[in-house]
Structure 1
Amino acid sequence: MRRSIPALAAAVGLAMALTACGGSSTPESESTNEPTTAETTAPALTGTLTMWVDETRIDIMKPIVKEFQDQTGVKVDLVQKVSGDIRTDFVSQVPTGQGPDVIIGAHDWTGEFVTNGVAAPIQLGDKAGGFAPSAIQAFTYEGQVYGAPYAIENIALVRNNKLVADTKATTFDELIAEGKESGAKYPVLIQQGDQGDAYHLYPLQTSFDAPIFVQDDTGSYTTELGLGGANGDKFADYLAKLGKDKVIDPAIDGQKALEAFQAGDAAYMLTGPWNTTTFTDAGMDISVLPIPSAGGAEARPFVGVQGAFISAKSENPVLANEFVVNFLTSEAVQTELYQAGGRLPALTAAADKVDDPVLAGFNEAGAGGAPMPSIPEMGAMWQFWGTTEVQIIDGQAKDAAGAWKTMVTNMQDAVDKA
């Protein structure tokens, strides 16, 4: 991390001193009734800000960083890090003083950063109200916000308009019926694979009011599992039904689902914006819609949020705050990031102006989404989750609710040991 000489406090003190002197510099005998003007320009920021970005975000951030430099005069040392190393390097290097002032990354890094003491909380103040609630919740840990969000992504229901022109279904079962009526080989595609895919099934699970973890009043995730009990049992039984009816097939992984939908073999598909470009580039006519409820409650897909963290050991906290809290959260910058990266802006004012109907559809579908948990315990959940769901779907688990209960017990043991 490079040292800088912002001298902000000294500049403020000097400005105050000059103002005080200026108030009595004109002798009373020489005073006039002519209005005077006072300097109101804030002290200039100076110094160097070091920022880490991985190879997937570097090209998007380069023009943004240049704009910040041009506006503020602050030099930004933009360092490209390997995506597989950036997160762990931040955790290991910040305590030694070798890390950056700012790091750009995903919200689910928050828990690890906070528990290791490497990220500083930020104060968005009134700005927080301008963001999608799920975006702020995503960077909230134990009641404090640790990152400024700039982009959101989630899955939604993608419709092949050639097969179904108008969706009237209000429940997932009605959606399946409409898909079957279209004559498509698959009424709706939900990718799985041998290890399962709990991520793509999560909207159905939350519609049974069975979230992976319970959230507190601040939106932070607790370590209390929320997918057990009667609601979890009902979801497990519903999964077994979808498997028995061949609506979901573990043999269809992400690639096979993508190919089948592109070939026109499915009326609907649960997927994200990372796949829709493939469809539109192929000339497909698609619409993006919210996912209907299967269990009666709102279907809440996981929401992934991109944003910026400030190092807890930053030697330039004033500069870092200026970039993260004031610059990155502006409507103009959030719009520029969307135009460069194709991800929906986290700032509502910018998102509302997106004229891409596909992204607008994802925005609507993810409005009430659930941020991907960033607590450390989340990492141990996937191994039990996807495997159990596959066993239920393909009929290996004769007692779906019983298999689900066993999974929850194993998850609880993992939480207790974390």
Structure 2
Amino acid sequence: MRRGIALATAAGLALTLAACGNDSTTDKTSGATTDKSTTTTAEGDGITITVWTDTNRQAALEEAAEAYEEATGNKVELVTKEFNDIRADFLAQVPTGEGPDITVGAHDWLGELVANGVVAPLELGDKADEFNEKALTAFTNDGQVYGLPYAMENVAIIRNTALADSTPDTFDEMIEKGKAAGTEYPFLIQTGAEGDPYTYYALQTSFGAPVFELDDDGEYNTTLALGGENGQKFAQWLNDQGEAGTGVLDTNMTYDIAVDAFKNGNAPYIVGGPWMVADFEEAGIDIAVDPIPSAGGETAQPFVGVQGFYLSAQAQNQLAATDFLVNYVATEDVQQIIYEAGNRLPAMTAVAEKAAENPVTAGFAEVAADGALMPSIPEMSAVWNYWGSTEAQLVKGSDDPAGVWDKMVSDIEGDL
């Protein structure tokens, strides 16, 4: 989630690849697998479980594979891939029988994977009690759990403690405090020419304009909720705070520019995630993590993303694959290794409690508790198609912010 708007591109690409015929998609996918993948196998006898992973999760899975092979005599083949390739490759290869038994993935893939029939429910049994409830909900579709969660991530306010001793509760107060710090910028948030609705989402929800409505069971339905008066107020706010207004928001502020500015001590506040922390700490900046202030009067709820492992619907031996995930990957030792590799909040409660001894991790956890799960329904792709560009248009300046926002809502509804 390093660059939030990449979600829209990835979502659209995956849907496009999934919709293509097996000819071109399979060829491209096979090439990607050959060129970008490496394979390691745990020695043993019996059946073989194939697992797709990325480099950040490889060490943890190697430990789990070694323990599993020793106990069962089965083999675990780890195929290391580029994370951004995995969803499209999984969608293309599973129906042909060429995909893995298990893959690493993000929870917001779930709706598309279920709709395409490429994932199977995962029976966690009593092990489910050991995981964060929100993390399990993220991998739940129509009452069934489809993934083993391992990490949660979200943006928050990252504060330079040498420049600001606290983060106020409201956006305007934060900007005032940021200006008092005497830095080049009072506040930083990546925007870019295409907008960044993922990073901006907490500010939008503070106006009471979430992307979709929720059912009584807490799952998203396809009724848009970002329109109406509250959405129009957010649109006006983007315009007022943008390049034609206060200038606090700027489409020239890319991810790299924002991170470099914060690293160089040019702002007391930045909206960012755990993927930024190592850069700031290496730069010698003492940081704290705080909730994002409200711009619209309601609680600012950032998106919460959850990462985990999916079980293929075409797994050669689903019982063995389930055993590997539930009894060997879902251990405190393995989950701790995953945490240390990525510094994301662990989904396993016991490991999260240990990780929260780090105040930075604890800060992100506090914000995640009030955050909103990113929708995993397939209809989300229609939203990404228009959302970012509309926000960028408003930040650049418009004579009719409400009209611009209403057109976006109408365009999305036309695609649903």
TM > 0.5? yes
In structure 1, the residue matched to 2:62 is: 62
| Amino acid in structure 1 at the alignment position of 2:247 | K
Deviation sequence 1:60-100 (CA, Å, 0-9, x none)? 43223223333444321212234344322322322233222
In structure 2, the residue matched to 1:50 is: 50
Where in structure 2 are the equivalents of 1:11-410 lying within 5 Å? 47-167=47-167, 169-243=168-242, 244-354=245-355, 355-395=357-397, 397-410=398-411
| Amino acid in structure 2 at the alignment position of 1:379 | S
Whole-Å separation in 2 of the counterparts to 1:151 and 1:222? 24
Whole-Å separation in 2 of the counterparts to 1:47 and 1:97? 16
State percent identity of aligned pairs. Answer: 51
Deviation sequence 1:256-297 (CA, Å, 0-9, x none)? 111111111111000111111111001111111111222232
Whole-Å separation in 1 of the counterparts to 2:363 and 2:226? 28
Instruction: Specify the SS of the correspondent of 1:309.
Output: strand
Checking the alignment, whether the CA contact within 8 Å between 1:344 and 1:359 is kept in structure 2 is yes
User: Aligned-pair distance for 1:303?
Assistant: 1.5
User: Aligned-pair distance for 1:404?
Assistant: 0.8
| Amino acid in structure 2 at the alignment position of 1:325 | V
Structure 1: state its 5+ residue gaps. 1-44
Instruction: Specify the SS of the correspondent of 2:354.
Output: coil
Whole-Å separation in 2 of the counterparts to 1:192 and 1:344? 25
Checking the alignment, whether the CA contact within 8 Å between 2:190 and 2:196 is kept in structure 1 is yes
Instruction: Specify the SS of the correspondent of 2:379.
Output: helix
In structure 2, the residue matched to 1:6 is: none
Number of paired residues?
369
Q: 1:302 to 1:99 in 2, by over 3 A?
A: same
Whole-Å separation in 2 of the counterparts to 1:293 and 1:185? 23
| Amino acid in structure 2 at the alignment position of 1:402 | G
Q: 1:155 to 1:71 in 2, by over 3 A?
A: farther
Checking the alignment, whether the CA contact within 8 Å between 1:206 and 1:299 is kept in structure 2 is yes
Checking the alignment, whether the CA contact within 8 Å between 2:154 and 2:302 is kept in structure 1 is yes
TM-score, normalised on structure 2?
0.83
Checking the alignment, whether the CA contact within 8 Å between 2:232 and 2:402 is kept in structure 1 is yes
User: Aligned-pair distance for 1:385?
Assistant: 0.9
User: Aligned-pair distance for 1:323?
Assistant: 2.0
Deviation sequence 1:12-31 (CA, Å, 0-9, x none)? xxxxxxxxxxxxxxxxxxxx
TM-score, normalised on structure 1?
0.83
Checking the alignment, whether the CA contact within 8 Å between 1:56 and 1:83 is kept in structure 2 is no
Whole-Å separation in 2 of the counterparts to 1:361 and 1:124? 29
Q: 1:282 to 1:382 in 2, by over 3 A?
A: same
User: Aligned-pair distance for 1:152?
Assistant: 1.2
Whole-Å separation in 2 of the counterparts to 1:166 and 1:85? 40
Whole-Å separation in 2 of the counterparts to 1:265 and 1:336? 34
| Amino acid in structure 2 at the alignment position of 1:252 | M
| Amino acid in structure 2 at the alignment position of 1:264 | G
Deviation sequence 1:104-134 (CA, Å, 0-9, x none)? 1111221221011110112334543443333
Whole-Å separation in 2 of the counterparts to 1:85 and 1:370? 26
Whole-Å separation in 2 of the counterparts to 1:405 and 1:148? 39
User: Aligned-pair distance for 1:101?
Assistant: 1.5
User: Aligned-pair distance for 1:238?
Assistant: 1.8
Checking the alignment, whether the CA contact within 8 Å between 1:150 and 1:328 is kept in structure 2 is no
Whole-Å separation in 1 of the counterparts to 2:386 and 2:343? 33
In structure 2, the residue matched to 1:411 is: 412
Checking the alignment, whether the CA contact within 8 Å between 2:56 and 2:338 is kept in structure 1 is no
Whole-Å separation in 2 of the counterparts to 1:352 and 1:265? 33
Q: 1:88 to 1:393 in 2, by over 3 A?
A: closer
Checking the alignment, whether the CA contact within 8 Å between 2:57 and 2:341 is kept in structure 1 is no
Whole-Å separation in 2 of the counterparts to 1:336 and 1:59? 8
Checking the alignment, whether the CA contact within 8 Å between 2:94 and 2:312 is kept in structure 1 is yes
Structure 2: state its 5+ residue gaps. 1-44
Question: Rg bigger for which structure?
Answer: 1
Q: Aligned-pair RMSD on alpha carbons?
A: 2.0
| Amino acid in structure 1 at the alignment position of 2:316 | E
| Amino acid in structure 1 at the alignment position of 2:385 | Q
Whole-Å separation in 1 of the counterparts to 2:68 and 2:300? 39
Question: More helix per residue: 1 or 2?
Answer: 2
Q: 1:69 to 1:113 in 2, by over 3 A?
A: same
In structure 2, the residue matched to 1:27 is: none
Q: Which 10-residue stretch deviates more, 263-272 or 216-225?
A: 216-225
Deviation sequence 1:316-359 (CA, Å, 0-9, x none)? 11111112233333333322321233222112221111132222
Q: 1:399 to 1:135 in 2, by over 3 A?
A: same
Whole-Å separation in 1 of the counterparts to 2:200 and 2:277? 19
In structure 1, the residue matched to 2:26 is: none
Checking the alignment, whether the CA contact within 8 Å between 1:102 and 1:320 is kept in structure 2 is yes
Deviation sequence 1:150-208 (CA, Å, 0-9, x none)? 011111100011111233x1222221221122222211111101111111110111122
Checking the alignment, whether the CA contact within 8 Å between 1:194 and 1:250 is kept in structure 2 is yes
